[in-house]
Amino acid sequence: MRKGVLIILSIVFAQISRAQQIPEYTQWFLHQFAINPAHAGIKQCIDIHSLYRIQWVGVDGAPDSGFLSVSIPLQARKRKMLSARHGTGFKFETDRVGQFSTNRLNAAYAAHFNFNKTDRLSLGVYGGIIQTGYDPGNSTTADPDPTVMQQANFISPDATFGAWFNSENYFVGLTLRNVFRSKWIDIGTDSRHRVHLAINGGYRVKLNENITFLPTMIIRIPPRNPVSTDINLYVDYKTVLGLGVGYRSGDAINGVVTFKIKEQFSISYSFDYAVTAIQSVAKNTHELSLRFTTCKPDRSGPAKCPLFE
């Protein structure tokens, strides 16, 4: 029995360590600016997103994460081909795993180059600070260990590079996070923020005048852990109701529902069900997000996806 408990705990903390530096969101495809600075000002309106994620409900010290992002266009009107539009914005993100905490505050800048009416290349950067902390709190050790029980808290520079290309019905994105490989001061001997690569893409299929089908995928490539892949299938009805299902490799299956409230507000909820051995101690993960946009809704023509506006 004791051996079984130890095995389960080792699986739990192995999973936590994988997500410790970079939070992974089930609703990533609904909040592109939160993961890619190239989305700053990509739409011709102010776009505000917030999200909270609580992972592995019931496990002490399990990850909980969230963000608030604001995207602002600097030049709203498209000019002639290859003439850049610009965007800015900011993001605050927090992530807590056990005794570790990470808070990031970043400003964003992006340039958007239109090759024609539908094809666009966007390049962007996040720049700011990251606060990393370790609080032993309720930690206990078999023998007194002043190193483990020492509290640490430090601030270092933070940067992310992003690239994005989309046409009328598809998109491809790339991000490099933790560009500055800052050491974790007073936490371990070889601990540092490490560069994480992510590649994503999606394709929009217009089923009829009211319904759009959007399959998406993201591949996350951490420096010292297995590659993680999310596959999501999402259906939008008149930009009012959205339903989706997904799978994260080696982790969970999930479902998401989005509902628009009073034209410019929308709320999304997603539920993850663990499919690995961790389900013996915790099966459920929840995400709740809110969005406000100043974009005016367009009910004419085929159902639209905000990724392609």
Residue pair 95/83 in contact by the 8 Å Cβ criterion: no
Residue 61 has pLDDT above 80, yes or no: no
* 165 or 56, which is more confident: 165
**DSSP letter at 83?**
P
Residue pair 124/37 in contact by the 8 Å Cβ criterion: yes
- Alpha-carbon gap, residue 75 to 92, rounded angstroms: 24
Give every CB contact of residue 200 below 8 A, 6+ residues apart in sequence. Answer: 28, 29, 35, 172, 173, 174, 216, 217, 218, 219
**DSSP letter at 5?**
H
CATH number of the structural domain spanning residue 32: 2.40.160.40
pLDDT in tens, 149-175: 567 788 889 999 999 999 989 999 999
Q: Measured on CA atoms in the order 114, 119, 121, 126, is the torsion positive or negative?
A: positive
Residue 18 has pLDDT above 60, yes or no: no
- Alpha-carbon gap, residue 140 to 63, rounded angstroms: 20
194 is in which domain, residue-wise? 2-308
Chain centre distance of CA 10: 26
Q: pLDDT grade, residue 298 (50/70/90)?
A: low
So what's the pLDDT on residue 245? 97
Q: Which residues of 96-106 are buried (b: 16+ CB within 10 A; e: fewer)?
A: bbbbbebebbb
Chain centre distance of CA 215: 17
So what's the pLDDT on residue 76? 55
Residue 306 has pLDDT above 50, yes or no: no
Distances (CA, A) of 123 to 49, 85, 88, 112, 150: 20, 11, 12, 7, 41
- E strands, the chain, where? 47-54, 64-73, 85-97, 100-114, 120-134, 152-166, 170-177, 196-203, 205-206, 211-221, 228-237, 241-248, 252-261, 265-274, 284-293
Domains contained in the chain, number? 1
- Alpha-carbon gap, residue 180 to 106, rounded angstroms: 13
Residue 300 has pLDDT above 70, yes or no: no
Q: What is the mean pLDDT of the chain?
A: 82
What pTM was computed for the model?
A: 0.82
Least confident interval from 24-28, 61-65, 159-163: 61-65
**DSSP letter at 307?**
G
- Alpha-carbon gap, residue 95 to 2, rounded angstroms: 31
So what's the pLDDT on residue 272? 92
Beta carbons within 10 angstroms of residue 245's beta carbon:
13
The H-or-E segment that residue 6 falls in is helix 2-18
Three-state DSSP at 262 gives coil
Residue pair 173/201 in contact by the 8 Å Cβ criterion: yes
- Alpha-carbon gap, residue 18 to 194, rounded angstroms: 12
* 250 or 235, which is more confident: 235
So what's the pLDDT on residue 236? 93
